[in-house]
Amino acid sequence: MKTQTVIQSAIAAAFALGAVSAYAGPAEAPSFAAEKCFGVVKAGKNDCQTNMHACAGQASADNQGDSWLFVPKGTCEKLTGGSLTKKA
């Protein structure tokens, strides 16, 4: 029983930390050469800031023109709908 309780506590803590970090603010810059790609993000998967909010993970719609995601440099404009600048 003790082992099961410890495992359940660890899982709960991991989920709690994940939930907090997903909405804690802007995404950290990745370790690879990256660029911000607008208009290609799934709802709730943006890296940061739109006209409506300033935190990661809060995009309300797929392919929102002002939501961005870090992608490897040179990739954005190869993606359907990808733009290096905000879209209206």
Write the pLDDT tens digit of every residue in 28-60.
778 889 999 988 888 877 777 666 666 767 777
Q: What is the pLDDT of residues 57-76, one digit of tens each?
A: 777 778 888 888 889 999 99
Place of tokens 């940061």: 48
8 three-class SS: helix
Q: What is the DSSP letter of 48?
A: B
Does the predicted TM-score (pTM) go above 0.75?
Answer: no
DSSP-assigned states of every residue in 48-78: B--SS-SSTT---STT-TT-EEEEETT-GGG
Per domain, the residue ranges of the chain are 25-88
Residue 30: name the closest of 83, 68, 71, 66 by CA.
71
Quick check: 69 and 47 in contact, CB under 8 A? yes
